[in-house]
Chain A
Amino acid sequence: MLFQDIVFWVLSVLAIGASLGVVLVKDLFRAALLLVVVFIAVAGFFVLLSAEFLAVVQVLIYAGAIAILIIFAIMLTRDVQHGNLPNRFQIPAATLAAVLLAVLVAVAVDTKWDLLAGQAQSRAQAVQTSAVRTLESPGDLAGLERAGFATEDERTAAQEAGLADLLIGDFVLPFEVVSLLLLAAVIGALALVRPR
């Protein structure tokens, strides 16, 4: 638990400091590199929250694809020398952000979260770390039993619970819609940058 806390604080400082850097640093290129630091820190948070698959996706898509695209855009637009200028809404924007932050923190602290009890927590943990159905071997069955899956049906259900099954099971319609959205976005981007 102590180790987790240390990792959490290191990642928090890294993420928040790099986020501030993205917004405030004058050099655009450095800002983009700090954005990569934010993405990797968030991937670390995902590992802490036992969402390993999302951590991998975060590194692949955000740090790998999106950050590189943005760096390419910065280099191609040759507007780097102007740097990161503020506009005249600086004070209202800062006020709005500070007020929103105060509200969000108050909500997060004040809300009585219906947190999982110890037993339910270990059950959820057993499912969450099996994002892509890793609980196949018989040895894990004992672990599932310890985690509170008493009956055979429950253990089978916990074994079959996985992110992939949920994605193409319960959420298959949003999944298809989002793939259509990606296709439309790519075609739209091509149409936008096509030379006339």
Chain B
Amino acid sequence: MTLESMMIVAAIMFCIGLYGSLARRNVLVVLMSLELMFNGVNLTLVALAKYVVPVGIEDNIAAVLTGQVFAVFIITVAAAEVALGLGIVFAMYRNTESVDLANATELRN
């Protein structure tokens, strides 16, 4: 278990999420793929926080935890994103009776 292997796993998760969010028609699968991408990013941040420490740790010992603080913020933002995303999904389902992104054409001219 090294920094590189951890980051490669995170990159694979991120790219699977990227593929899923671009190539799927169901909006719920797109939301789930976004969560995969968030998790990949979080994993990278925490791995970097463990193995690499910002310059200046001598002054502020707590600085080694900075990456984990970023991960906490990302988790919070992901929770907000899911709440809003599901709100949009329900609004879309009420209007078009489907969660298929191919039917989400209200903004098309």
Contacts and interface: CB of A to CB of B under 8 A. Distances in A.
A9 B35 CA distance: 22
B35 A79 contact: no
Interface of A is mostly: helix
Interface residues of B, number: 74
Contacts of A83: 26
Interface string B24-44: 111011011101100100110
Give the dominant DSSP class at B's interface: helix
A17 B93 CA distance: 30
Question: What are the 3 closest A-B residue pairs judged by CB atoms, nearest first?
Answer: A185-B80, A192-B87, A161-B62
Interface of A: 4-5, 8, 12, 15-16, 19-20, 22-23, 28, 31-32, 35, 38-39, 42, 45-46, 48-51, 53-54, 57-58, 61-62, 65-66, 69-70, 73-74, 76-77, 79, 82-87, 89-90, 92-94, 96-98, 100-101, 104-105, 108-109, 113-116, 120, 123-124, 127-128, 131, 154, 157-158, 160-163, 165-167, 169-171, 174, 178, 181-182, 184-186, 188-190, 192-193
Interface of B: 1, 3-9, 11-20, 22-26, 28-29, 31-33, 35-36, 39, 42-43, 46-47, 49-53, 57, 60-62, 64-66, 68-69, 71-73, 75-84, 86-91, 93, 98-102
